[in-house]
Amino acid sequence: MSSTHNITPVYGNPLLGQWSAPYEAPPFDSIEPAHFMPAINQALAEARANVEAIANLDAEPTFANTIEAIEDCNRSLERIGAVLFALDDCHTNEELQQVVVEAGPLMTRFENEVAANRCLFDRVKTLYNRLADGTLALGEEQATLLTERYKFFVRNGANLEGAALEEYMKTSEELVELTLRFGQNALADNTSFALHVTDEAQLEGLPVVVAQQAADEAAMRGEQGWVFTLAAPSYRPFMAYAACRPLREQMWRAYNTIGNRGNANDNNELIKRIVNLRLRMANLLGYSTWCDYVLDDRMVQSLPNLRTFMQQLHDAALPIAWADVEQLRSFVAEVDSGLELEPWDVAYYSEWLARELYDFDAEQLRPYFELGNVQRGVFELYGKLYGISFEPAPDVPVYHPDVKVFKVCDGNRFMGLLYLDMHPRPTKRSGAWMTTFRDQRNFNGIEQRPLVQVVCNFTRPTAETPSLLSFEEVKTFMHEMGHAMHGLLSDVAYSSLSCTSVKRDFVEMPSQLMENWCYEPRFLRLFARHYQTGKLMPMKWVDRLREHYNFQSGLLCLRQLNFGQIDIAFHSITQPYSGVVEETENGAIERLWPSVEGTAMSTNFNHIFSGGYASGYYGYKWAEVLDADVFSRFKADGIFNRRTAARMRTLVLSKGGTRHPALLFRDFMGRDPDQKAFLRRSNLL
């Protein structure tokens, strides 16, 4: 639109102007923290000018001069913000964290200003009313964009006035700052702990690769012996294999007190403030709780519906979970008579029990899951399913030497860039995730392909071995690559509806779907070869994997449900919260063994207090029901069936958020979801 202002380059600031890196990728090789605030301030000024130009147009509102113009008004701000927040997550420092704390509220303030712009909202509302009464004819994607834009205004305070509007804007800005601080506190507490071992006898039970990784960590820190951290590749195998019970307890307590240590990083007061601000925002918008506000725009639709869904799964899982507990306790009584099972014992004895039951140790699989081989296997799978290829793009700048970039193509068509950042470091938050530096769009005849980032925290190479993944890490890689394909195969007109911009309780379906392939021999044969001998992983172990899939399935299901219940407990409050975080957490969940005073997972629950999953953590189980159902179609048709994959790509993955996910599911399956496939797969029938 002619009224749209474009960013003009500022000498010496690589964030401004057209990015000169290949594929217009972020110029990470020249970006410094000091570049961000000048760039953000300029981008904000120009976005505000664009908004005013649209709001004050003399012409009658049309889809093009209002809705499409709004879609385009802050593209520069979005791309700069995407880079800033991604860097803060995966390669941060104190200077960058200060920038994030300063920039986050400013960007939220701009969003609030847009929502509060009465002239702009009136133009959108006029078009929305015309769509509703049938006097404005639009295609499905355009109608969705208009509807979502109208909902954005209403759900962000457009109908508020005076003191209520002012309070809403102030509250939302403060929320951004507090959620950022929550994540920074959790990261600081996580990285501040290290278990330093100097007695080799205390390594009893640990796999060689885990001990070698700890030795490398110690050497990197200038220490003798072995150092274990709370990063997943160190913490998880330590808890599952370390025979030294006092050290397991020390590690468990350290992990379960992140954000709850009474120090400068303590998150208890932040949680209280965050949930109360969310409650107040919901009340201002006419909702009784934050859950009601969030779920009103989700597949599940309402809190009563969600409670029914959670209760159904709880009722199915609880008896199986108790049977799992009794089986574990009986086993402990046999192998360690008199030992009272504590939380720091569960992973250790569960792993031991699994070895006894299945004559199988998951650590035996590591040599067959060398990261490079796994990556090639995953790439080949997507070639078989969707006909796409991946080739290294070493000329694209990266923000850390660990990062590898790949050019993704469908024949001769460029589909986007894929950034892989696979290993933990002190500057990186824990977990695994996918995001985009730039979303896909195909607007006004110009196609913009996405720049997709996948971030994990996988086992590092050691001085003795390459990066050898656990089977769980292989599944995590498949999961995040499922998100990546959702982004890379997107093919819509508007970026705000592209890639993974779908209902939050649907977004995990395409990613969880891909985990199913990890149990399929035909897929594993593509890449599961011993990193030294080149021999295929014995297929009898695939059978063991399948048998092991439902080991403690009740416990695992209940664990996920407990996380969802904690989320609901904090976000279904109807009065300001003044309780004790530990007590609220303990009261929300189904406990299968006693709680440990002074520990809590809520103070490290980044998904709901720092990420985008507040009132939405249930979405993992909701999407698991969907993915089990969808994979039943792939199993029936063949796991490499190109026709079935083409339907998934065309009817689901390419559509982004242009169509309601319930309709996307129905388009692919020909019916509504059925829980039976999930219950059968999880042995919960």
CA angle 104, 105, 108 (to 5 degrees): 90
Instruction: Return the ∠ at Cα 111 (arms to 96 and 298), rounded to 5°.
Output: 100
Contacts of 444 (CB under 8 A, 6+ apart): none
388-392 and 413-421 beta bridge pairing: unpaired
In angstroms, the CA 289 to CA 281 distance is 9
Beta bridge partner(s), residue 392: 406
Token code pair at residue 431: 């977990």
> Which helix (H) or strand (E) element contains residue 222?
none
Residue 479, C-beta contacts closer than 8 angstroms, at least 6 positions apart: 432, 511, 512, 514, 515
| Structure-token pair, residue 616 | 């939405």
Tokens of 558: 């209940």
- Residue 526 backbone phi and psi in degrees, to 5: -70, -25
Q: Report residue 196 as tokens.
A: 């330093």
What residues have CB less than 8 Å from 459, skipping those under 6 apart?
A: 209, 213, 233, 366, 423, 467, 468, 469, 470, 473
Q: Is 32 a catalytic residue?
A: no
Tokens read off for 663: 């309709």
Residue 303's nearest CA partner among 284, 285, 287, 280 is: 287
Q: Residue by residue, what is the 3-state secondary structure of 330-374?
A: HHHHHHCCCCCCCHHHHHHHHHHHHHHHHCCCHHHHHHHCEHHHH
Host H or E run for residue 196: strand 195-197
What token pair was written down for 71? Answer: 């879609």
Place of tokens 């009464």: 133
Active-site annotation holder among 46, 363, 480, 520: 480
CB atoms within 10 A of CB 33: 18
| Measured distance CA(525)–CA(511) in Å, rounded | 21
Structure tokens at 111: 């969003």
| C-alpha–C-alpha distance, residues 151 and 144, integer Å | 10
Asked whether 407 and 414 are in contact (CB, 8 A), the reply is: yes
Tokens standing for 477? Answer: 């890689």
CA dist 131 and 402 (Å) reads 49
Q: Hey, which residues are catalytic here?
A: 480
